[in-house]
């Protein structure tokens, strides 16, 4: 093999015998490794020249002539790359597995934290839906999704004059998405007079209202009082929305598409809400709360008042439910948070917010279901999270506390008890 020919023993000298044995051992080792004849190190002695068949010579010459000379370096590079890819071993390093594991974990966490999408896809053409806080955050995403379902949207925004161009662009976008109508009205929840003007204008334009989404709110608002003398979280999150709901109850009762639907947006933080004097001061008017404590109390008040109002409204006429959108990023609510004041803290926080918090579109899914799902016809007094009915915290189940807080809230906003019946 390999051009080596055995000679008769009598014609082989001692030097030739040692050379022949070493050459045979070299060839045998190559055969054991199953190497092709032209691979590996060359034999240290001259090899006999092998002649190729004429057909192979003609084929090689034709292949060489078919490739232009100017492409020879490129073809050599391509052959080199092909050889490198053929010899590459993806299992030779752990890095591909580490990267794949990280991508899988991040994708799984984001999918889980994103929550469940709205399970129904039915449209609500022509139905009048009022959304507070509609010009940003979760409220704008609620409007976009309802526009895709052909609703007639009434956007309640705080500063129509200051953000006129942005809000006009949103109206154009909603009509393009399929809204049967879109209009903008001014509403400042920090002023109860503004709430009354808004309700009057709305009922003048629309005799019947199909749904009301109380989505606007504040968190970590600077300490102080509103023009009506209330703590900002208590008024903007709870009292103003309660007044708006009471004023729009006649229009909601006239809905021709089943019972009018009221959706109050709360937060998981309602479980941390505390009422210092449940018997005498359920609104904590004598307490100086600020920041997180004031926000949690206002959300607890929404849940309690919603349960009390659900007992007064016939489900065949009007339903009221609460929902938690979850932890949502990009809404602007954290602009007053102490964590967001330091640049270094923001840099450290944003990646974790991206990983563990929902986008505004994901946070809007539960609200959209409560407004549109026909399966929830007649359901009232519940709390929903990730599009599913969830159990209330123990403090929110106190019906007597709910009654006292509801009556105190009506007195605070200047409405008699009979107006809510």
Domains along the chain? 114-413 (3.40.50.720)
Mean pLDDT by 10-residue block, N- to C-terminus, for the chain (421 residues)?
A: 45 45 50 49 50 50 50 65 63 74 84 83 94 90 95 88 78 94 93 95 95 91 87 93 96 93 93 83 82 89 95 93 86 65 69 78 94 93 94 92 94 77 50
Cβ distance 200 to 248 under 8 Å? no
Any idea what the Cα angle at residue 183 is, between residues 177 and 189, rounded to 5°? 120
Could you please report the per-residue DSSP string of 318-331? Answer: EEEEEEE--SB-SS
Find the DSSP H helices in 206-273.
Answer: 232-233, 240-253
Query: Residue 355: what pLDDT?
Result: 74
């Amino acid at each position: 093999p390999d051009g080596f020919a055995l000679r008769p023993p009598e014609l082989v000298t001692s030097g030739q015998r040692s050379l022949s044995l070493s050459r045979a051992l070299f060839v045998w080792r190559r055969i054991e490794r199953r190497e092709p004849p032209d691979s590996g190190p060359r034999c240290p002695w001259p090899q006999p020249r092998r002649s190729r068949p004429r057909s192979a010579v003609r084929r090689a010459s034709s292949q060489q002539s078919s490739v232009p000379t100017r492409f020879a370096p490129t073809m050599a590079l391509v052959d080199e790359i092909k050889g490198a890819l053929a010899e590459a071993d993806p299992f030779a390093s752990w890095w591909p597995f580490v990267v794949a594991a990280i991508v899988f974990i991040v994708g799984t966490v984001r999918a889980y934290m994103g929550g469940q999408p709205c399970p129904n896809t039915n449209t609500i053409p022509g139905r009048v839906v009022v959304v507070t806080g509609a010009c940003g955050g979760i409220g704008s995403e609620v409007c976009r999704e309802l526009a895709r379902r052909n609703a007639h949207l009434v956007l309640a925004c705080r500063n129509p004059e200051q953000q006129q161009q942005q809000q006009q662009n949103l109206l154009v976008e909603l009509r393009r998405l399929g809204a049967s109508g879109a209009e903008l009205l001014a509403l400042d929840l920090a002023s109860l007079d503004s709430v009354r003007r808004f309700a009057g204008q709305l009922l003048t334009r629309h005799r019947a209202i199909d749904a009301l989404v109380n989505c606007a709110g504040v968190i970590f608002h600077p300490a102080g009082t509103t023009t009506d003398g209330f703590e900002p979280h208590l008024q903007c999150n709870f009292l103003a929305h309660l007044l708006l709901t009471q004023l729009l109850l006649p229009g909601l009762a006239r809905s021709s598409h089943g019972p009018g639907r009221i959706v109050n947006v709360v937060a998981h933080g309602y479980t941390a809400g505390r009422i210092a004097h449940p018997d005498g001061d359920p609104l904590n008017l004598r307490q100086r709360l600020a920041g997180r404590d004031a926000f949690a109390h206002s959300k607890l008040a929404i849940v309690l008042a919603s349960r009390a109002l659900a007992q007064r409204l016939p489900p065949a006429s009007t339903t009221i439910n609460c929902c938690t959108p979850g932890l949502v990023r990009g809404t602007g609510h954290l602009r007053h948070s102490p964590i967001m004041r330091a640049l270094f803290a923001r840099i450290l926080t944003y990646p974790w917010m991206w990983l563990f918090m929902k986008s505004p579109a994901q946070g809007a899914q539960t609200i959209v279901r409560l407004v549109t799902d026909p399966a929830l016809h007649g359901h009232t007094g519940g709390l929903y999270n990730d599009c599913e009915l969830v159990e209330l915290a123990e403090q929110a189940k106190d019906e007597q506390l709910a009654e006292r807080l509801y009556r105190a809230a009506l007195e605070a906003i200047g409405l008699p008890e009979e107006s809510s019946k």
